[in-house]
Amino acid sequence: MASTIQVDNIKDIGGNTIISSNGSGTFTSNLPASAPNVSTATGTLPIANGGTGGTSFSAAGLANTPSWYVRNGTTTNNISSGTYHTLVFDTEDWDTNSAFASNAFTCPSGQAGKYLLNANLVLTGLNAGKRWDTYFAKGGSRLNKCYYYSVAVGNNEDMTNNMSCIVDISVGDVLTCQGYHNHGSDRSFDGSYSYFAGYRLIGV
């Protein structure tokens, strides 16, 4: 059986009115508007940790931006043996802050923080025992804790390295992907299945 509670005022333990109604569907809220308290019913969303009070997550400062996803629209790019190369990504699926250019993400002003990076990097035609090493690099220096390598067990193998990590990024830091192989002759970086993506974390 359904039940109904009808009141015109809701008060706290001290007798202070929290919400009142005029009986015709109009409500008045006496809740304080400033964080960390709940807002008045004005459509604002106060966020104690860095928010700006908008009614959407993005407007409240809760968007995981900057964010980017780039890939190589060209099927192949030749990579010479025995040398670290900055890998090429010529197609942007998105780049929220227009911060990705020339195969690199550069941290914009006001966007320092911890970033989650992910990449899938494919090299074709390695022979048995040969390596495909891939790294995230910051400022041209390879990040030792953010790398992946694979070794071919047969001849003419396509090797796929998928790597991810969380890194601290300062304004102006430049992030790239680097690749290395020791096949002995040029191999092809397969852009059809390769990408580089990342976004800034919130709440950390």
- What confidence score (pLDDT) does residue 13 get? 80
Decide if pLDDT at 52 tops 60. Answer: no
Burial (Cβ within 10 Å: 0-12, 13-18, ≥19) of residue 1: exposed
Interior CA angle at 155 toward 153 and 156, to 5°? 120
Residue 186's Cα: distance from chain center in Å?
A: 33
| Partners of 132 in beta bridges | 150, 181
Residue 154 binned pLDDT confidence (cut-offs 50, 70, 90): very high
Decide if pLDDT at 42 tops 80. Answer: no
Cβ 163 vs Cβ 119: under 8 Å: yes
In the chain, domain spans: 1-63, 67-200
Instruction: Give the strand pairing for 195-200 and 104-106.
Output: unpaired
Question: Which of the four CATH numbers 3.40.50.300, 3.40.50.10490, 2.60.120.40, 3.30.1490.190 does domain 67-200 have?
Answer: 2.60.120.40
Report d(CA 19, CA 30) in Å as an integer: 6
Label each residue of 152-163 as H, E or C.
Answer: CCCCCEEEEEEE
Q: What confidence tens digit (pLDDT) does each residue in 130-145 have?
A: 999 999 999 999 998 8
